[in-house]
Amino acid sequence: MQVKDVLAHKSGGVATIEPGMSVAEVVAALAEHGVGALVVSSDRRTIEGIISERDVVRALNTFGPGLLGMEVREIMTVNVHTCVPTDEVRLLARTMTDKRFRHMPVTINGALSGIVSIGDLVKSRMDEMETEHDQLVDYISSAR
């Protein structure tokens, strides 16, 4: 199974935020979109960073309540790992587990085109295993 198969089962686009917006706006956008991370981009194509709820919690511990008025660029992660639609889900899940992040933006020709979460990957893997299981049960039953 590839990333594009996971994206085919997802609705909606990628939630983004501009680097000059405030952390208060990040919190509002995370809640509004019901997601755990936002891609930071000024034009919705170029990835400038990523900011997740974990960054907000860590920064709250460092800066205190004044954090809400700070800019996204001050606390975002700049070195973003991305994937492409033809990447294998199994390998991607391994990378995300090893590197300890739960979100991976998807690019086509370097431009932002989607995002997958570890939850999306686990769900698609479970669906795949259920299908394999059902096929095996059918095969065994028909061989009797």
Which lies closer to ligand AMP via its Cβ, residue 104 or residue 124?
Answer: 104
Instruction: Give every strand in the sheet of 16-17, ordered side by side.
Output: 16-17, 37-40, 49-52
Cβ atoms of 47 and 13 within 8 Å: the answer is no
Q: Count of CB atoms within 10 A of residue 81's CB?
A: 14
CB of 5 to ligand AMP, least distance (A): 19
| Nearest distance from C-beta of residue 127 to ligand AMP, angstroms | 22
Q: Which amino acid is at 44?
A: R
Q: Which residue is nearest to ligand AMP (CB)?
A: 52
Nearer to ligand AMP, 119 or 136 (CB): 119
Query: What CA–CA distances, in Å, run from 122 to 26, 28, 37, 39?
Result: 26, 27, 17, 21
Query: Which CB atom, from 34 or from 142, has the smaller least distance to ligand AMP?
Result: 34
Query: Measured from the CB atom, is 53 or 127 closer to ligand AMP?
Result: 53
* Least distance in angstroms from the C-beta of 138 to ligand AMP: 38
Q: Which of 65, 92, 76 is nearest to 16 (CA)?
A: 76
Footprint of ligand AMP on this chain (CB under 6 A)? Answer: 36-37, 50-55, 77, 80-81, 101-104
The least distance separating ligand AMP from the CB of residue 20, rounded to whole angstroms, comes to 18
